Amino acid sequence: MASVKRFLSNTPLWSGLNILLFGALVAIHFAAVPKPAWWNDGFAIAVNILAGGLVSFFFYWLVVYAPEARKKNVIKCHLVRMYRNIKRDILYQVVFASQKGGRTDLVADEETMDALMTTDGFRTAFENGTQRDEGFYAFENQMSEDTYEFRAIVLNLELLSKQIEFVLHNYTLEDERLFGFFKRLEVILLKIRHAGPGYEESKPLCSFIYEVFAGWDIVKGYVGHDRIETTIAEI
C-alpha cells in the first residue's frame, strides 16, 4: 500500500508522462498518416486535458516542489556541517581525555585531527592497547568521572540529538529505513545523555564513540565508514 501511494504521488513521474503523451499526440497529429474520423475531435479534447495538466504541474513545481526542494537541501547541508563540527569537537575531547589517561603519543594538531577523523586513522590510533594508559582504555577510564571532557562530549551529543530532532520534524523522510535509523539514533543519544559518568554508566557512550569514529558495527565488524555520515548523505 505504501509503495502504491508513493507511486501515485510521484509528481515528476506523472509530469513526465504528461509531457510524453502531449508530444506523442502532436507528433501523430501532424504526421502524414491516415487517421480515424473521430481523430480531430479526440485530439482537441486530449490536447486540452494534457495542456491543463502541464500548466498545473508547472505551477505545482513553481509554488510547491521547487521551494520544498530548496528547503530540504538547506536542511541537509546544515545537518552535514553541524555533524562534522560536532564530531570534530568530540574528537578533541577524546584526545584530551586520552592524554589525561596517560597517552603521550597523541597531539591535537590539525594534521593529527584530520587523520583521526577518518575511520582508518582512528582505528589505527585506538584499537590496540592492553594497559589502562594505552589505546582506547586511556580515554574510557576518564569517562568514569564527571570530567570536563565527559561533560563536553555529552553536550555535543545533546546538540546532535537536537539536530536529529529538527530534521525529523522538518524533513520528510519517506524511506522507512532512514526514518528508523534516525529515530534509533535519537533514542541512543537520549539514553547516553541520562546515563551519567561511571565505569558501567559510561560504557554506552564509549561504545557509541568507538563505533562512530572507527567505523565499527557490532554485527558486521569494521565497515570502513561512519554510518551516521553515510546515512545523512542518503537523505
Q: What is the pLDDT at residue 8?
A: 47
- CA gap 192, 184 in Å, rounded: 12
Give the DSSP letter of residue 173.
-
- CA gap 170, 200 in Å, rounded: 36
> What value does the mean pLDDT of the chain take?
87
pLDDT tens across 153-186, in order?
A: 999 999 999 999 998 888 888 888 999 999 999 9
pLDDT tens across 84-107, in order?
A: 999 999 999 999 999 999 999 999
pLDDT tens across 45-54, in order?
A: 887 888 787 7
pTM of the model: 0.76
Helices marked H in the chain: 2-8, 11-30, 39-60, 66-100, 110-116, 119-126, 137-140, 148-170, 176-195, 203-214, 227-234
Give the DSSP letter of residue 134.
S
Nearest to 143 by CA among 227, 217, 211, 207: 207
- CB count within 10 Å of CB 98 equals 26
| Partners of 217 in beta bridges | 221
pLDDT tens across 106-126, in order?
A: 999 999 999 999 999 999 999
Q: What is the pLDDT at residue 139?
A: 96
Quick one: average pLDDT of 189-215? 92
